[in-house]
Structure 1
Amino acid sequence: DVPVPLLVPGAPGPASTAYFVLRTALAFVLTWLNPFFAVYACAGYFDAVHLLPRRLSRAGLLLVAVTMAGSQSGGLPPASLVQWLAFGGLFALNACLVVGLSHLGTKEAEKAAERAATIAELARANSRLEQALAENAALQAQLLLQAREAGVADERRRLAAEIHDTIAQGLTGVVTQLQAASAAPDRERAETHLRRAADLARHGLGEARRSVRNLSPVALEHDALPEALRKTVEEWAERTGVATRFTVTGTEAPLHGEVAATLLRIAQEALSNTARHAGAARAGVTLSYMDDEITLDVRDDGRGFDPLARPER
């Protein structure tokens, strides 16, 4: 069994009510005998709201006001009409004061309770917000990881396609020329096929070296991203004959090496796609530095494609 206290702070019970009534009655009797004993009744003004239930607190204050008015009017019971009038006026004054102050105190307590409830709700909302921010940060980290993995996979596919389109085809051409040289009817034709095989081999070697450079951009070892992009654009324009313009906007800011390398590779891939598929006469590359982000825009006047169309097989 768990003992239950009779007096619970903030929740007046029968014991506290009985204590208040007995003390007030005793103070009334003593004041009847001598008005100076009303000092004991005065304490009821301060603890009625704590010892009595809320519905009885004002009645308790009025009982105390009767005792105090009797003392202030000269004693109990009033002996003359003047004393009765004084008793009535003093009782009304005491009642108005204590009931008014009690009402104000109750309202202030209600406001304090509302403020406490609001603070508690704000604390809960703040806790939920912090939890949501933590979940959002975790989701953002997961998305960044997935984006990086997707970028790595895309880079692998790009390299595989580039090796197939350049190096593998070049080696196939070398083998074809060597086979033709071995089957040539005379020395002159054999030497012609051998020269072609050597040219194809040199071209394939150059493509292999270029692929290796794309894995780790050499251009960024000596130049910042804007200068590396400018050189890349100029070399591409000279090689393809497409009029290309490179523009930098905003204030240049230092970038993480991986970010700079990724942007350079994106520009190289976009320009490569323009050369292979767009049939463009003009192209433009814009690198824009903003407050908290950087953007790379590659555009051309080529024929383009419908993003909703299914690719040809």
Structure 2
Amino acid sequence: MLDTMPNQEPPSAEDGWETFFRWGPFGLLALGTLVCAATAPALMSRGEVYAAGVLVAAALALQAWWAVKRRDSPRRAPAGIGYYAARTVLAAVLAWLNPFFSIYAVIGYFDAVPLLPPRLARAGLLVTAVTMAGAQAGGLPPGSAAELLLFGALLALNATLVMVFGRIDEKQAEESRAKAATMAALERANARLEQALAENAGLQTQLLVQAREAGVDEERRRLAAEIHDTIAQGLAGIVTQLEVVLVGGDPAAARVHVERAQALARESLGEARRTVHALGPRALEHDALHEALGKTVAEWSERTGVRAEFTATGTVEPLHDEIEATFLRIVQEALANAARHAGADRVGVTLSYMEDEVTLDVRDDGRGFDPLAVPVRGAAGGFGLAGMRSRAERLAGTVDVESEPGGGTAISARVPLVRHG
């Protein structure tokens, strides 16, 4: 306890022990001197009184020196060891002259641990115990067998107290060291936690920037796909109708194709405006998905002259807006590819509502192709199959293509069924 209190206690307790170690010996020496002066006529001879006076002056000088020296002296330094040894000898001699000087000698119990190394501390405590036992027994040396027996008993008692208090001191020192180690570990853990929090904040900022950039890129791709699937296809249809007018000679047929071109132009203009405002398909404004797909397939069939049929199976349910827009765009792209490349006579579109997913199948009996030979992007920079797959993947879905040269083409898209709202 004495070993750790000056360093482990709160500042108020530390200051209290510091004050005791500095001024306590002066107070104990003064108290012991007063008591011994009062009892000197009965216990001391004139020569012993003179000797005690000299020793008290020496002890006072020693305490004054140490009060100044201890400020700059580290724990268990040679100066402190010398001070403890000299004071213990003076206190033992004074207690031999008058047992009441043990009042001064008791200080040896308190500062042995702070001033002495562990082994010397035990010796210092033992010497102090001998001094205290001798004083309590009436003085040293014992004058009779009874006094010797009493001295032995008192010495055993003091030694036992020294061991008990020493053990208590060791346990408290261990607890103090454990607390200090725990506090140090907590400080290190807090430092690591603060560092981790700072790193996490930096990572979060970085992730936010990356997410923002990814969102911008995704929106750009989506906008490009919307333009490709609407405006670009409408313009391609207009070009096709006008080419028929240029090569045909029938004015009535030419008028029909011009009217179709005008209708496509108006539709493309509407899609362009809608793309700017909301990127939502106009065909889904007032119709459910199966109705919009039926109208899209019918209009495409009328425009291209290719027989096309639409079928819906299962229980029709209102789907999430993104799913409906995705399926409509996939059908538009598939029909556009069939008109440009397949040379098909028949096209079939099937929308199937299942328990936990929705599928869309577009089949034609055209010339077919090798899916492995198709580039990621179309030859003219379009999106084609890659655009279909990208749209489906955004909804955790898939697009599969089955085709071979001369064997027609089948495109199957499937996404999880997510109801509207």
In the alignment, structure 1 residue 205 sits paired with structure 2 residue 277: no
Deviations for 1:202-226, whole angstroms, at most 9, x for unmatched residues? 22123223322335x79xxxxxxxx
Secondary structure at the counterpart of residue 317 of structure 2: strand
Q: Name the SS for the 1:281 alignment partner.
A: strand
Which residue in the other structure is 1:235 paired with? 288
- The residue number in structure 1 matching 2:242 is 178
Alignment deviations for residues 3-23 of structure 1 (CA, whole Å, 9 cap, x no partner):
xx8621xx3111111111110
Give the deviation of 1:45 after TM superposition: 0.7
Deviation, 1:280, is 4.2
* Residue 118 (str. 1) matches residue 190 (str. 2): no
Distance change (3 Å), C-alpha of 1:33 and 1:213: same
Deviations 1:243-302 (A, max 9, x none): 55358xxxxxxxxxxxxxxx96x5566545775789540168xxxxxxxxxxxxx94245
Q: What letter corresponds to residue 245 of structure 1 in structure 2?
A: E
Match of 1:7 among 56, 73, 93: 73
CA RMSD in angstroms, aligned pairs only? 3.3
Q: Distance in 2 between matches of 1:137 and 1:182?
A: 65
Partner of 1:292: none
Query: Which amino acid counterpart does residue 204 of structure 2 have in structure 1?
Result: Q
Q: Relative to structure 1, is the Cα distance of residues 186 and 312 closer, same or farther in structure 2, using a 3 angstrom cutoff?
A: closer
Cα distance in 1 for partners of 2:104, 2:268 equals: 111
> What CA deviation, in whole Å up to 9, does each residue of 1:148-201 have, x standing for no partner?
211221221222123223211211322332344355434323311211111111
* Structure 2 letter corresponding to 1:28: A
Shift in alpha-carbon separation, 1:113–1:43, aligned structure 2, 3 A: same
The alpha-carbon distance between structure 1 residues 300 and 55, as it changes in their structure 2 partners (threshold 3 A), is farther
Q: Measure, in 2, the Cα distance between the counterparts of 1:99 and 1:311.
A: 93
Q: Which residue identity does 2:358 align to in structure 1? A: D
**Contact (CA 8 Å) 2:327, 2:360: kept in 1 or not?**
no
* Distance of aligned partners of 1:156 and 1:268 in 2 relative to their CA distance in 1, 3 Å threshold: farther
Q: 1:148 to 1:120 in 2, by over 3 A?
A: same
Q: What is aligned with 1:245?
A: 317
Deviation at 1:123? 1.5
Structure 2 distance, partners of 1:21, 1:233, is 106
Asked whether the 8 Å contact 2:80–2:116 carries over to 1, the reply is: yes
Does the 8 A contact of 1:234 with 1:244 survive in 2? no
User: Structure 2 CA distance, aligned partners of 1:269 and 1:94?
Assistant: 96
In structure 1, how many angstroms separate the alpha carbons of the residues matched to 2:108 and 2:124?
A: 8
Q: Which residue of 1 aligns with 2:353?
A: 282
How far off its partner does 1:139 sit?
1.3
- Against the structure 1 CA distance between its residues 283 and 213, is the aligned structure 2 distance closer, same or farther, given a 3 Å change threshold? farther
What is the aligned partner in structure 2 of residue 228 from structure 1?
none
Q: Shift of the alpha carbon at 1:92? A: 0.6
% same residue: 50
| Residue equivalent to 2:96 | 32
In 2, the alpha carbon distance for the partners of 1:112 and 1:119 equals 10
Identify which of 266, 281, 300 aligns with 2:358.
300
- CA positional deviation for 1:48: 0.8
Could you tell me which runs of 5 or more consecutive residues in structure 1 were left unpaired when the two chains were aligned: 219-230, 248-262, 285-297, 304-308
Distance 1:272 1:29, change over 3 A: farther
Counterpart residue number, 2:193: 129
Q: Does 1:21 align with 2:85?
A: yes
Give the aligned length.
Answer: 261
Q: 1:129, CA displacement in angstroms?
A: 1.7
Distance 1:81 1:234 in 2: 122
Distance 1:132 1:158, change over 3 A: same
TM-score, normalised to structure 2, is: 0.55
Q: Secondary structure at the match of 1:79?
A: coil
1:101 to 142, 149, 165: 165
What TM-score, normalized by structure 1, do the two folds share?
0.72
In structure 2, do the counterparts of structure 1 residues 270 and 25 end up closer, same or farther at CA, with 3 Å as the change threshold? farther
Cα–Cα, structure 1 residues 97 and 272, in superposed 2: closer, same or farther, change >3 Å? farther
How far did residue 38 of structure 1 move? 1.1
Q: Residue 90 of structure 1: which of 154, 166, 181 is its match? A: 154
Which of 141, 145, 155 pairs up with 1:81? 145
**Structure 2: runs of 5 or more not aligned:** 1-70, 295-311, 335-348, 362-370, 376-421
CA distance in 1, matches of 2:373, 2:101: 104
* Whole-angstrom CA distance in 1 between matches of 2:143 and 2:275: 119
